[in-house]
Amino acid sequence: MSSTTWRSGVDGDPEQACPIAPVVDLVFSRWTTPILWALHEYGRQRFVELERRLATITPKVLTQRLRQLERDGLVRRTYHAEVPPRVEYEITELGSSLAPLFAHLAQWSAGNLDRVEQARQDYDARQRPTRGR
């Protein structure tokens, strides 16, 4: 990315100083990424399947996130008028277009998280007070 592209918006509206901020807000909230990842990796799923796959999410939060993702056009909700009613969720084409971004982040994670952890340990070691000073 060129510095011009990276800096676009810096001299304008302060809320637009970072052009990727709206994408980060949209995609990288607490549960959005795991939901999109699960739908991309495992395909169409019912609510209970997603709930099981994301074991620590509450039903209320899953409902809220799915509604927001549907509103944003990243997830499609399909209601089947059966007895009992069945609802399925799947990632949309727009949501799937994030797959290369997720793949790149997964690659970066695999190659760099150990370096981040080492940097944290080094930093923490420098912050500890030494005795006798």
Higher pLDDT, 77 or 130: 77
pLDDT in the model for residue 80 = 93
List C-alpha distances in Å: 105 to 35, 36, 100, 101.
16, 14, 9, 6
pLDDT in the model for residue 28 = 85
Domain boundaries, the chain: 8-127
| pTM reported for the whole predicted model | 0.75
pLDDT tens figures, 79-109: 999 999 999 999 999 999 999 998 999 999 9
pLDDT in the model for residue 8 = 47
Pick the CATH number of 8-127 from 3.40.640.10, 1.10.10.10, 3.90.220.20, 1.10.150.120: 1.10.10.10
pLDDT in the model for residue 6 = 47
- The rounded mean pLDDT for the chain is 87
Instruction: Inform me whether the pLDDT recorded for 133 exceeds 60.
Output: no
Read off the pLDDT band of 14 (50, 70, 90).
low
